[in-house]
A and B are shown apart, each in its own frame.
Chain A
Amino acid sequence: MRILTLVRQVLDAEESVRIRDGEVDLNGSKLIVDTMDEYGVEQALRVRESGVEAEVIALAVGPERNQDALRTVLAMGADRAIHVMTELALDPISLSQVVAQVAQKENVELIFCGGQQADWDSHALGAATAERLQWPQITWTNGLEVHGQTLMGKHDAEDGSETFSVELPTVITTQQGLNEPRYPTVPNIMKAKKKELRVETLEEFHVGPKLKFLSAEVQAKARLHKILDGKDAPAAAAELVRLLRNEARVIA
């Protein structure tokens, strides 16, 4: 079977966000493969390593720098990569059109996608892709086994954990807890340079954005920073309770 795994290149969460001319400025910042997507890549590799005949294809859509992210994923073990090159900022609903078209062309049966993107804070890409393909979806997956055409595992729902069973083809969105993604080793980084990385252009997909981006700003709420020394615990506790009651008025 062919497995498609989505790779998005995002700002490292440890980096601070800089805004320039009303847009997030990524120049000079450390960019990484979205950790949520890494769980998907790792899981695809584990499916292949479990004895299932599988080819793992990584897909990235975005500017040229995304090829760094794809090389990382090839070094983790993906078989080949597709880069749909564009400078256009696509919202998840539009992007799902590209993903679905690639999935169809490549005859993919299983798609992995991060549960929430670290730049958009979006949950939409996996679900929208599934809808375009008329496939079911499992979101927030943290356990997965492949038994022939059946996927079994567990995922987080609104009010707790659920175990599920679903037939292929399916979209799986991934999260922390599913696995521990491997680090690319030096020999594998070398090997990855020789792996296929096919570049296509967005024009071939006839997709345009559905949302217009207007502006971005960092709105840090002003905080009071009234921090007490807790060496004298009863006195500090009494003072904090007093502040919360009489100044902040958040407790009775």
Chain B
Amino acid sequence: MILVVVEYANGKVSKSTYEMVGCARQLGREGPVTALVLGSGVAAIASEVALVFDQVLVADHVDLAQYDAEVWAAAVAQIAREGEANTVLVGGSRSGREYSPRVAVKLDAPLLEDAISVVDANGTLTAERYTYLARVTEKVEADAPVVVATIKQGAFTAALPGNQVAEQFDVDLNLPQRRVQITGKATEKSSRIALTEADIVVSGGRGVGSAEGFATLVEGLADQLGAAVGATRAIVDDGWRPYQEQVGQTGKTVQPKAYIAIGISGAVQHLSGMSKSKCIVAINKDADAPIFKIADYGIVGDANRIVPAMIAELQK
């Protein structure tokens, strides 16, 4: 079987889950495309994904209320073994990329990391992925009875739910003791669409001048467009914005239909998180800023004057 670990957040199935199903279907490997739902109180999630998978395995347990790399890896490896999975697909989220190497080691399997394409040729999987801070596309091959792959968000076409409802099965897991104690969490709740799921991302850097400038310009334009909000490492370090909004090497990777960069010069570490966006728009007062080299559209000028004018234009 092809095992897909279902990703969800705040009671909603994540887009990445449907993209993994899309990947699994086009792979055409032997066996049912199987969902594994891990969590506590996940009946609704299981029912939702039953419309897109061939079968759904559910581990609904209080011990799974909070994510832990060791617990998740043990659960996934156990189900992959028992179900004789030939392929294990995990989301290319931060947690997915954290526990999947453990699954690969447990199964003595190769790991295809953050794949943007996966093709099966006579039982051998060939994958493409970005390397060198997303500047190079590398092709690698995994030839093994079972292969673990993390799937880059936004790289595959999402499968659409149908009318067939897949059968659900409860599974028993032998879970290890948690060894990492999470003693506190600082999560900023946002009413906006998630950064990695948005069609439009409006992002800001030091060039917006201040935290107040960010609110007026970046959030102002984002709200006008129904877009998600992103930020550079520099202004997250300065405390202007929360870490969840950070785009780049040490933050999130996005590839929306449109990425609007305001006051962002375009350090290679930032570009690695957004350079695959379909359309890139840059607004910066420095005509030599590297961001313009990868921009489709842009304005060289003062963001404090241009962005309010854009908002006014959009409101017309």
Type the 1/0 row for B88-121, where 1 means its CB is closer than 8 Å to any CB of A: 0000011101111110111001111110000000
**For residue B137, which residues in chain A have a CB less than 8 angstroms away from its CB?**
216-219
How many residues of chain B are within 8 Å of chain A by beta carbon? 94
Q: From B259, which residue of chain A is reached at the shortest CB distance?
A: A250
Q: Once the chains bind, are A162 and B105 in contact (CB under 8 Å)?
A: no
**For residue B294, which residues in chain A have a CB less than 8 angstroms away from its CB?**
221, 223
Give the residues from 55 to 109 in chain A that come closer than 8 angstroms, CB to CB, to chain B.
91-93, 96
A163 touches B (CB below 8 Å): yes
**For residue A160, which residues in chain B have a CB less than 8 angstroms away from its CB?**
185-188, 242-244
Q: Once the chains bind, are B250 and A115 in contact (CB under 8 Å)?
A: yes
Interchain CA distance A115-B109 in the complex, whole Å: 21
Distance (Å) between the CB of A22 and the closest chain B CB?
A: 9
Type the 1/0 row for A135-166, where 1 means its CB is closer than 8 Å to any CB of B: 01111100000000000100011111111111
Q: Once the chains bind, are B272 and A121 in contact (CB under 8 Å)?
A: yes
B144 touches A (CB below 8 Å): yes
B269 touches A (CB below 8 Å): yes
Q: Once the chains bind, are A177 and B300 in contact (CB under 8 Å)?
A: no
**For residue A164, which residues in chain B have a CB less than 8 angstroms away from its CB?**
180-183
Q: How large is the interface on A (under 10, 10 to 19, 20 to 34, 35 or more residues)?
A: 35 or more
Asked if A136 meets B70 with Cβ closer than 8 Å, knowing A14-B268, A175-B250, A216-B131, the reply is yes
Distance (Å) between the CB of B175 and the closest chain A CB?
A: 14
| Most chain B CB inside 10 Å of its own CB: which residue of A14, A214, A244 | A244
The segment from B19-27, B28-36, B308-316 that touches chain A is B308-316
Give the residues from 188 to 245 in chain A that come closer than 8 angstroms, CB to CB, to chain B.
210-219, 221, 223-231, 233-234, 236-238, 240-241, 243-244
A186 touches B (CB below 8 Å): no
**For residue A163, which residues in chain B have a CB less than 8 angstroms away from its CB?**
182-185
**For residue A11, which residues in chain B have a CB less than 8 angstroms away from its CB?**
132
A130 touches B (CB below 8 Å): yes
B160 touches A (CB below 8 Å): no
Q: Once the chains bind, are B299 and A227 in contact (CB under 8 Å)?
A: yes
B297 touches A (CB below 8 Å): yes
Main DSSP-derived SS at the B contact region: mixed
Q: Once the chains bind, are A93 and B299 in contact (CB under 8 Å)?
A: no
The segment from B37-45, B161-169, B275-283 that touches chain A is B275-283
**For residue A165, which residues in chain B have a CB less than 8 angstroms away from its CB?**
180-181, 183
Q: Once the chains bind, are A240 and B297 in contact (CB under 8 Å)?
A: yes
Asked if A215 meets B279 with Cβ closer than 8 Å, knowing A96-B101, A233-B306, the reply is no
Contact of B132 among A24, A128, A132, A226 (CB under 8 A): A24
Distance (Å) between the CB of B231 and the closest chain A CB?
A: 14
Q: Once the chains bind, are B126 and A128 in contact (CB under 8 Å)?
A: no
Interchain CA distance A221-B255 in the complex, whole Å: 13
| Most chain A CB inside 10 Å of its own CB: which residue of B112, B183, B282 | B183
Q: Once the chains bind, are B133 and A230 in contact (CB under 8 Å)?
A: no
Q: From B283, which residue of chain A is reached at the shortest CB distance?
A: A230
Contact of A229 among B296, B301, B312 (CB under 8 A): B301
Give the residues from 167 to 209 in chain B that come closer than 8 angstroms, CB to CB, to chain A.
179-188, 199-200
Contact of B297 among A92, A161, A216, A248 (CB under 8 A): A248
A9 touches B (CB below 8 Å): no
Interface residues of A, Cβ cutoff 8 Å to B = 11, 13-14, 17, 19, 24, 91-93, 96, 115-116, 118-125, 127-128, 130-132, 136-140, 152, 156-167, 175-177, 210-219, 221, 223-231, 233-234, 236-238, 240-241, 243-244, 248, 250-251
